[in-house]
Each structure stands twice: as C-alpha cells, then as structure tokens.
C-alpha cells in the first residue's frame, strides 16, 4: 500500500502530539488544541528535575513562560478546561497520534568545530520512532543543519520503527518562526514553511498547519530547502544586526550619534529603495540567532563542500557577523571601564548594577544572554556585579537581586543590558541618590534612556552608538 493510500485510510488529522514544552511547543500545542479541526493534543514533556514541573503547571492551564506573552495563559486555560489539551511524560501515547511534531533545542557545544548538540533532539526522534505507526506524520520544527531531515532523522526513525519514510509514514520539516513576546501572533500570522521528503509528506504537513494560520499561508518546498530557509533567515537577520553594531562602533569612534545616522539613512525612500537598518545593542542572545549561522555553515560543508564557489581564503561573511555580535558584551565592558576611569574609580572592587538578565525586552528568556559574558568579564576584572531582572525568577549560576532599588544602591556603575519597560522610566536624580556617588557611571546598551538628564545630574554617560555623548564634559 502506498503512503497516500495509508493516509487516506487513516483519515484527517485528529490527534496531535507536540514534543518539547518550551517557547515553541507550548503555544503550538495550545493553538492546535484550540482548532475545531483537531480532537485532542498531547504535549510531551520529560519528567526531569529541571523541567518536569511544567507538566503540572500546564495541566492546570498555567504557562511556565513568565515573560509577557499576550493571550497565551488564557488560551491554555481554555484548552485545558475543554479537555482538548493535556501534558504528559508518557511517551507511549505517541502511538495514538496521527501527527507528531518535535520542538527541541539544537545548540552548539563548540561553535568552532561546527558540531551541533543534537542529543536532546535525537532522544525525541528515537522516542517517536519507537511508537511510530503506519500512516503517521512526523514533523521536525527544530532548527537543524540542512540535510538532517532526509539524513540522520530519517535513518533514526526508520531504525527504531522498522518502517520506511515516504512509504509507511510521512516526514517533513516545518521550522518555527516565533519571537518571544509574540508567540501566538507569530504562529498565526507568519507564513509557514513546510518541506516534506516527498509531495505526500508535504501535503500532509500542510494539512496540519493550515487550520492554525490566520493571515499566514503555507509555503511548500523540499525538506532541505525548508532547512536552508530557516537557517538563512536567521543568519541574514544576524548579519543585519552586525552591520548596525559595526556602524555604531564607527559612530562612537567618529564622535557622532548612530541614531541620527540611522534616521537619515532610513529617510531615503522610493520605488525599489530599501535602506532601513536594525538596531545596535549590548549583544545578541536567544536560542536561534546565536547558532543558526553555524547550522547553515555546517550544511554547506556537508552538502556542497566540493561545489561551493567562494573567494579563496576569505572568511565567511556570516560567521564574521556572528563574531561582531558576540563582541558587543565585551564592548559594553570597555564602556564600563572607560566610564569608571573617568570617575576615578578602580575597576577592581567597583560595584556594578547590571539591569537585565534576559536577552530580550520584557521577556524571561535568558538563553545565551549577552549579560552573562559581560558579567563574567567584569567579575574577572575584579568588579562586584549585582543583577536585577523583573521577569526572571531563577537563572543558573546567577544570584538575582529582587529589588531594583537594592540593586542600584551603592553602585559605582549602572549598566542596562535589556530594554525592559521598567528601565525606560528610570529617573536620573533618583538613581544618582541611590548610588550615593558624586559621579556614578551609567552605560546604556539599549538606547532606552535620555543621556542629557543623566549628564546634567553628574553621571558619566556611555551608550552604544552615542559618539556624540560618550566623551561629554563631566558636570560638577
């Protein structure tokens, strides 16, 4: 029997399993469960010491994601109360599903060797293969190295199940395209890239995602093209941020305001003209942009190593962009040291108030936060660092000070690494009074405060891209 016939015998997709209850899996499962097209959704989560707590929370309709996520907790309560969604650690229930998606992180342990850590994803794939039945659909949503779906993932599924992809079950890659802070909106409104290993798999995956789309539409392509699309779109965004960061460094060196330059560049408009720039900042964090470049680089080395035509001996433009963005926390440390030097305060023993541990404004997502390398460099220089974040309750390896006032009190330097709305309303006079310093340093890594009130109150101001202000006269 052909795969097409197996799927027709099974009928429409009714029961869905989502493996991985994180920033991607939770909103996806909730939206699937909210659709009238589907009967029941299981969220699969390992009952591990680090993340097993999510099971009970989700089954009470509570979101483990504590940043601002409009509509998510309300939707979870709805789908739990209607008994259309349930979270479980019992992976044997995969056998009851018509379709299973995997949303599991795929980091790099060492970016230099281009070897990704697929251990968690591989465990998930093997679990699916163990319970895979004829006619089922398996979709990888994780960002993966091009060639993974048709290569290692297919091999593992076939080995565990004894079935053949494209003959006994459908297999596709449909990469997530979400941003923390607007998860539900992104899933509904962004177009969905769907790449099957064959046309039947692509069509079945399109059937899965179409009911949750509002403004978005399905864009079908091959599995490998979908993998390249996902890695390329994040690589390109990282490249754009790096261009803004490099220009900000240039503006600092030349004594001009990056944000004036940006507004001027953006003013050039007309048919076929696109000059809009992204924003510079204290660094790029998150799970995607910090590693997807390396998935793309690894993909071309594996799939096109002997075919790639590229300037001999030249470094990859994409990897260079990653290096620039990784440099920005070090630049924040440089600005902090320069500010302390102007204040006559030795770095060793200086008290730093670090505002923002999450990588993104108004979020609790701390994955690959640029605040961490900044903190580590300042600690290595002998400074003392107190960390505040209104959205982050716990973070491995860091002690968070709950009170913003207590974090700032007695600080020699106040350093803003995240653009949380609480930090946008800081009052210069009040902050200075809390520090108790004649000339406290303030370093703005997100361009969220007006430098003039700070300067007028005796601060030594430093800001990313603010060459017009970074060497201001100190007000006595």
Catalytic, out of 54, 84, 111, 230 = 230
Catalytic, out of 251, 288, 417, 454 = 288
Active site residue 288: yes
Pairing assessment for the beta strands 192-196 and 170-173 based on DSSP bridges: antiparallel
> Beta strands of 259-417 (E only): which ranges?
351-355, 384-388, 413-416
Contact 344, 302 (CB under 8 A): no
Contact 59, 103 (CB under 8 A): no
CA atoms of 427 and 179, how far apart (whole Å): 30
CA atoms of 138 and 136, how far apart (whole Å): 7
CA atoms of 332 and 342, how far apart (whole Å): 15
CA 271 vs CA 267, 268, 274, 275, 384: distances in Å: 13, 10, 9, 12, 53
In the chain, % helix, strand, coil (3-state, to 5) comes to 40, 15, 45
CA atoms of 418 and 446, how far apart (whole Å): 7
CB neighbour burial string for 147-162, b if at least 16 within 10 angstroms, e if fewer: bbbbbbbbebbbebbe
Pure H helices in 283-370: 292-303, 317-343
Instruction: Give the residue from 204, 206, 194, 202 showing the smallest Cα distance to 141.
Output: 194
Q: What 3-state class would DSSP assign to 196?
A: strand
Instruction: Give the residue from 352, 327, 354, 334 showing the smallest Cα distance to 416.
Output: 354
Active site residue 54: no
Tokens 């060793």, residue located: 348
Q: What 3-state class would DSSP assign to 317?
A: helix
Tokens 């650690």, residue located: 89
CA atoms of 243 and 174, how far apart (whole Å): 29
CA atoms of 243 and 257, how far apart (whole Å): 16
The distance of Cα 356 from the centroid of its chain, to the nearest Å, equals: 16
CA atoms of 341 and 204, how far apart (whole Å): 63
Mind telling me the catalytic residues? Answer: 230, 288
């Amino acid at each position: 029997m052909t795969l097409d016939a197996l799927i027709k015998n099974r009928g429409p997709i009714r029961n869905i399993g989502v493996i991985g209850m994180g920033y991607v899996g939770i909103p996806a499962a909730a939206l699937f469960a909210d659709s009238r097209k589907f009967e029941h959704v299981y969220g699969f989560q390992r009952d591990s010491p680090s993340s097993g707590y999510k099971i009970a929370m989700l089954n009470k309709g509570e979101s483990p994601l504590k940043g601002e996520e409009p509509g998510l907790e309300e939707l979870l309560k709805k789908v739990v109360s209607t008994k259309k969604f349930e979270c479980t650690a019992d992976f044997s229930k995969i056998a009851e599903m018509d379709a299973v998606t995997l949303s599991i992180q795929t980091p790099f342990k060492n970016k230099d060797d281009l070897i990704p850590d697929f251990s968690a994803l591989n465990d998930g794939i093997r679990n699916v293969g163990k319970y895979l039945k004829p006619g089922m659909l398996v979709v990888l949503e994780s960002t993966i190295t091009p060639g993974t779906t048709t290569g290692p993932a297919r091999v593992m599924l076939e080995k565990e199940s004894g079935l053949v992809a494209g003959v006994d079950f459908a297999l596709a890659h449909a990469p997530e395209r979400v941003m923390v802070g607007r998860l539900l909106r992104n899933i509904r409104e962004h177009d969905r890239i769907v790449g099957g290993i064959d046309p039947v798999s692509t069509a079945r995956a399109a059937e899965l995602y179409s009911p949750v789309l509002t403004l978005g539409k399905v864009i079908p392509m091959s599995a490998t093209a979908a993998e390249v699309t996902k890695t390329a779109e994040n690589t390109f965004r990282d490249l754009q941020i790096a261009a803004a960061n490099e220009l900000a460094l240039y503006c600092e060196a030349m004594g001009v305001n990056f944000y004036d330059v940006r507004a001027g560049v953006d003013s050039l408009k007309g048919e076929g003209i696109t000059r809009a720039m992204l924003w510079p900042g204290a660094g790029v964090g998150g799970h995607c942009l910090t590693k997807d470049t390396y998935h793309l680089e690894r993909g071309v080395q594996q799939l096109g190593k002997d075919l790639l035509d590229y300037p001999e001996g030249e470094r990859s433009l994409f990897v260079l962009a990653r290096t620039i963005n990784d440099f920005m926390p070090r630049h924040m440390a440089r600005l902090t040291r320069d500010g302390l030097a102007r204040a006559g305060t030795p770095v060793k023993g200086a008290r730093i108030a670090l505002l923002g541990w999450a990588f993104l404004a108004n979020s609790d997502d701390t994955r690959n936060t640029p605040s961490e390398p900044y903190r580590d460099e300042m600690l290595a220089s002998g400074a003392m660092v107190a960390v505040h974040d209104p959205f982050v309750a716990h973070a491995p390896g860091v002690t968070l000070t709950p009170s913003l006032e207590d974090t700032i009190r007695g600080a020699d330097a106040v350093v803003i690494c995240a653009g949380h709305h609480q930090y946008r309303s800081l009052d210069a006079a009040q902050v200075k009074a809390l520090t108790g310093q004649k000339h406290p340093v303030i370093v703005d890594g997100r361009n969220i405060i007006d430098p003039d009130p700070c300067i007028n109150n005796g601060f030594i101001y430093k800001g990313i891209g603010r060459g017009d202000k970074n060497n201001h006269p100190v007000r006595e």
